[in-house]
Homo-oligomer: A and B are copies of this chain.
Amino acid sequence: MVKEHQLKLHNSLSGNKETFVPINQEYVGMYVCGPTVYSNVHLGNVRTFMSFDMIYRYLRHLGYKVRYVRNITDVGHLLDDSDEDKISKKARLEQLEPMEIVQKYTVDFHEVLRKFNNIPPNVEPTATGHIVEQIEITQELIEKGLAYVSNGSVYFDVKKYNDQGGDYGVLSNRNIDELFANTRVLDGQDEKRNPQDFALWKQALPEHIMRWPSPWGDGFPGWHLECTVMSTKYLGEQFDIHGGGMDLKFPHHECEIAQAKGAYGHSPVTYWLHANMLTLNGQKMSKSTGNTILPEELMTGNNEFFDKGFSPMVIRFFMMQAHYRSMLDFSNDALLASEKGYSRLMEAVKTLENLQPSGSSSVDIKQWVAKCYAAMDDDFNTPILIAHLFDAVKMINSIKDQTETIHPDDLIRLNDVFKAMIVEVLGLKEEQMAGNEDKLDGVVKMLIEMRKQARVDKDWALSDQIRDQLAALGIVLNDGKEGTTYTF
């Protein structure tokens, strides 16, 4: 059963917030463009995937049965002005086979997302796993006259598509007629009829390692095609939500719409959602300027931008403090503030567990619950939700201090929604603090010192008590020449 709700989401297609109406009542099909696995996943991508993880979580929380598909792009698409693709280039640099590169960075990707407590998607298809289907749809588009073969490659004919009523440009709001009028005429060297045309299938040059046979000779699929094939294979020709980073809106998603409309005759997606970018200390993140940081470096503190490392949950909390469609700037001060906020929030979860109810409530929990849902229903407004959660933190602490009171029914309601929003929706969890090992070591050493003092004081009872109680906890003291050590 889906909870009663009034979810609105910002549709990039219309530029407006629209009421969410799934195609099949309680079922939701959601496709998100996954990573190209030729390098460590960067922080901006992590934010995109975390944003859609939150959206997936909220839809599930509302009671929808969501089929969430996120692909792995394991065919390395061509770099600009180069015949070499990204994965092959990395394979050459690292002296590995392309599929070793794919495996190495797929493992990294999964590992990083696991640390950030992202739920794996329901289907995680790969481009190489759908070569047959990509060849099929390319043939279909050729048969429909919307694609043409040129020198062993196949291109989508954007002009013809638009001339026949297509709407290439609809998502990115580009006036394509103008684009056609203003672009240079191709010099005849190009295989393409028009610069706007994009590859469905590329001929493999002799040096290409990743290649498959096709009706047009050995080659490999164009990047845009795989998402059309995999989204429709697992979600149907028309599905509810398609997500991705803002940078994919054009040309990638624009091309997806054209391919699907061309092949199936209708628009594939009801709601297009795009997550915004990150900056680092106010500047665009960029490998070439060095203004960039890997998730792992942010966690360990092994980097030049931050004073210390931040735990995955603090980073997640920090990201959730911004709306997914807003820019977000990473800085030392902002993360330190989030670290404090996160601790306060998780403290309140514990305090809540021990709250004592009263005969009546002096706090308005019903209204608070309504506000939380209103925030999330407003295009997944997590920063507003978090503001409401901190209102609850205040309430919880006031109830604990007995300056406010809460009725048992309200306490149950507060407990349910507070935890659901933190754990289920925002995906935050109690950290296994890395520092616990140190704390335990420190505390045991405190007791060893106290026992030493007790022995100096000839307080044998205390000395034995410390040793025996520690032993009961599985901590064995060993008195040696160079002092007392302990083992578990």
Contact = CB atoms under 8 A, between A and B. Distances in A.
Nearest to A124: B103
A213 interface: yes
Category for how many chain A residues contact B: 35 or more
B122 A439 contact: no
A435 B475 CA distance: 11
A185 interface: no
A440 B350 CA distance: 17
Contact of A436 (B126, B440, B450): B440
A129 interface: yes
Nearest 4 interchain pairs by C-beta = A442-B473, A129-B129, A440-B440, A128-B129
B97 A234 contact: yes
Nearest to A436: B440
Contacts of A103: 120-124
Interface in A437-487: 437-440, 442-444, 446-447, 450, 466, 469-470, 472-475, 487
Given A128-B129, A440-B443, A234 B473 contact: no
A397 to B, nearest CB: 12
B440 A439 contact: yes
A487 B99 contact: no
Contacts of A472: 442
A92 interface: no
Contacts of A488: 433, 435, 439
Contacts of A132: 131-132, 212-213
B446 A469 contact: yes
A110 interface: yes
Contacts of A347: 487
Given A103-B121, A432-B432, A443-B443, 8 more contacts: A103-B122, A104-B122, A126-B129, A350-B487, A436-B436, A439-B440, A439-B474, A446-B469
Nearest to A462: B450
Nearest to A133: B212
A50 B21 CA distance: 48
With most chain B CB atoms within 10 A of its CB, the pick from A96, A132, A446, A472 is A446
Interface in A70-107: 96-97, 99-100, 102-104, 106-107
A482 to B, nearest CB: 9
Interface in A106-132: 106-107, 110, 120-126, 128-129, 131-132
A406 B469 CA distance: 36
Nearest to A481: B402
Contacts of A487: 347, 350
A17 B128 CA distance: 39
A117 to B, nearest CB: 14
A123 B97 CA distance: 9
A218 B107 CA distance: 33
Contacts of A447: 443, 446-447
